[in-house]
Amino acid sequence: MEVQKQKIKKVFEKITKNKQIYESVLLIENFSGDFSCHLGYGGKKTDTPILMASITKLFTSTCIFILKEQGKLSLDDKIANYFEEDTLGSLHIYKGREYTMDLTLSHLLFHTSGLSDAIEEGSNKAKKRAINEDRKISIDETIMRTKQLKPHFAPGIGKRAHYANINFDILGKIIEIVTDSTLGDVYKQFIFDPLGLKNTYLPIDEDDFVPNVYYKDTSFYLPKTVRSIPASGGCISTAHELMIFIKAFFGGRLFNKTVFNELEISNKLQVAMSPIHYGAGFMKISLGGLVTLFMGRGELLGHSGSTGSFAFYHPASDLFFVGDVNQMAKPALPVRLVMRLAMSIR
């Protein structure tokens, strides 16, 4: 075990030598907890608040799986069943044909809707504004912005997938409609309370703490923006509690994990997100392909966040990796870090 910990430390120290990494935390455990290793940098510890960013999508997926088990929704449901026609009309028009009314919950969960991302694929001004300007954005405004962009393909065509936050923004709203509750209350009922998570929450008002995030050399405080994207990227947690959650997610504590067998299909995401594939609400990254020169084994399952957060499971070694490097300018960095860690401690 000491040899493994030295390898982990070596990889972690190499990452934190990056000039734009000002703080970082890493926690690695096996399922039983017999093996545990944690490292911090810049004062960040396993109980330091982390902006989960897109790891939040695992929470939203959890709620969808639970509601599916309860028979309150189906992945084949048309999303148009949950919204007024005026709200969704013209959301998905591809090559002159409207596909909006064909979109299903499954298309959103697997990122096979073909919809574009209003921030990542909008104008350069939109991306810059998202980083520099802290403002509240409603789901209606997000949908409106998405309507102004061309979809990438017709929903569910072939094996195509395109990562877009709008998919989970809409799923979050559907969860609220089905449960007649706020997403924060649903997270609490389905996830936080059952797992005893005391320091994991969706910020709701100005009194709720939201961590600063770095973009290159500048630290930004974006509480209004974070509160605007609860289902796709707005949750706050710690490495310690994120470890509890990721074990529960893949261990069957929150929902019947046979759902992974039922929904085992995954599709390759856009080139910019290579080598990531996307399955039923979570990322899959093969460690045995060309990108690793076929030197790895198995695959990583979980999620990373654009702010540098990560939560992954490597079944081949029975290890879970969670943590944060807190750098928005390098969204691929947490994935590369976990890949290196998984390959170094075979």
Domains of the chain, each with CATH number or no CATH: 2-344 (3.40.710.10)
pLDDT for 293? 55
Taking only the tens place, the pLDDT of each residue in 290-344 is 666 556 789 999 999 999 999 999 999 999 999 999 999 999 999 999 999 999 9
- Residue 142, Cβ density class (10 Å: 0-12 exposed, 13-18 middle, ≥19 buried): buried
- Indicate whether 188 pLDDT > 70: yes
Give the mean pLDDT of the chain. 94
For 213, the token pair is 């995030």
Rg of the Cα trace of the chain? 19
Angstrom distance (rounded) from CA 229 to CA 118: 13
In the predicted model, is pLDDT for residue 127 greater than 90?
A: no
| 242 neighbors 310 (Cβ within 8 angstroms) | no
pLDDT at 122: 66
Q: How far is CA 68 from CA 15, 140, 317, in A?
A: 40, 25, 30
pLDDT for res 346:
67
In this prediction, residue 126 has a pLDDT band, given cuts at 50, 70 and 90, of low
- pLDDT, residue 60, reads 98
pTM over 0.75: yes
Cross-strand partners of 313: 301, 320
How much is the pLDDT for 131? 74
pLDDT at 125: 54
Amino acid residing at 332: A
Residue 289 has pLDDT above 90, yes or no: no
- Indicate the DSSP class of residue 270: -
Residues 10 and 312: their CA atoms lie apart, in Å, by: 19
Q: What is the predicted pLDDT for the residue at 124?
A: 59
pLDDT of residue 234: 97
228-263, pLDDT tens digit by residue? 999 999 999 999 999 999 999 999 999 999 999 889
**Residue 21 CB contacts under 8 Å (≥ 6 apart), including other chains:** 15, 41, 42, 325, 326, 327
- Asked whether the predicted pLDDT for residue 54 surpasses 70, the reply is yes
Side-chain-side CA neighbours of 262 within 13 Å: the count stands at 10
Instruction: Express as a percent the part of the chain with pLDDT over 70.
Output: 95
Q: Give the model confidence (pLDDT) of 8-36 as tens digits.
A: 999 999 999 989 999 999 999 999 999 99
The predicted pLDDT at position 340 comes to 94
Q: Please state the rounded mean pLDDT for residues 128-142.
A: 85
CA distance 157 to 103: 12
Q: Is the pLDDT of residue 120 over 90?
A: no
Q: Read off the pLDDT of each residue in 111-115 and give the average, rounded to a whole number.
A: 98
Share above pLDDT 90 across residues of the chain, in percent, rounded to a whole number: 86
Identify the band that residue 180 occupies on the pLDDT scale cut at 50, 70 and 90.
very high
* Model pLDDT for residues 74-106, shown as the tens digit of each residue: 999 999 999 988 999 999 999 999 999 999 999
**For range 118-130, the mean pLDDT:** 69
Phi, psi of 185 (to 5 degrees): -70, -35
Amino acid identity of residue 80, one-letter, is A
C-alpha span between 157 and 311 (Å, rounded): 29
Q: What is the DSSP letter of 218?
A: E
Whether residue 38 is predicted with pLDDT greater than 90 in this model: the reply is yes
Q: Which helix (H) or strand (E) holds 93?
A: strand 93-94
